[in-house]
Amino acid sequence: MGNKNEHIFQVMKEKGITQKQLSKMTGISESTISDWKTKGKVPGIDKIMLVSKAIGVSPNELLRGESEPLDVNEIIRMLEGLDLKDKKYLLAYLKGVLKDIDR
């Protein structure tokens, strides 16, 4: 694939989720999802959060293929563009990461 979104489609493939199914799960149009793959368009953080929630992986794993926690600057950039609901989701994710680190 070779574009910035390859991890999204890799995770979808691993979980057996089609673009059509992802569209139904997230409310994101199939054409938008297709553009991520075929045109390399980068989804906004709001879309990343929707996809992340829908397929049950962290935003970091979805974007970078890494399950390691994001660094502080990445977290701040992500938070700036989120609504309150998504900020709470990201915060819950970060709390889970911290619990894993403390073990």
Task: Give the CATH number for residue 44.
Answer: 1.10.260.40
> Are 62 and 7 spatial neighbours (Cβ–Cβ below 8 Å)?
yes
What is the domain range of residue 51? 6-102
State how many domains the chain has. Answer: 1
Q: Write down the pLDDT at residue 87.
A: 79
- pTM for the predicted model, two decimal places: 0.63
pLDDT (tens digit per residue) in 67-91: 555 566 777 777 777 788 877 877 7
pLDDT (tens digit per residue) in 27-74: 999 999 999 988 888 888 888 888 988 988 888 777 776 555 556 677
* Nearest by Cα to 49 from 93, 101, 16: 93
The one-letter code for the residue type at 49 is M
The answer to whether residue 31 is domain-embedded is: yes
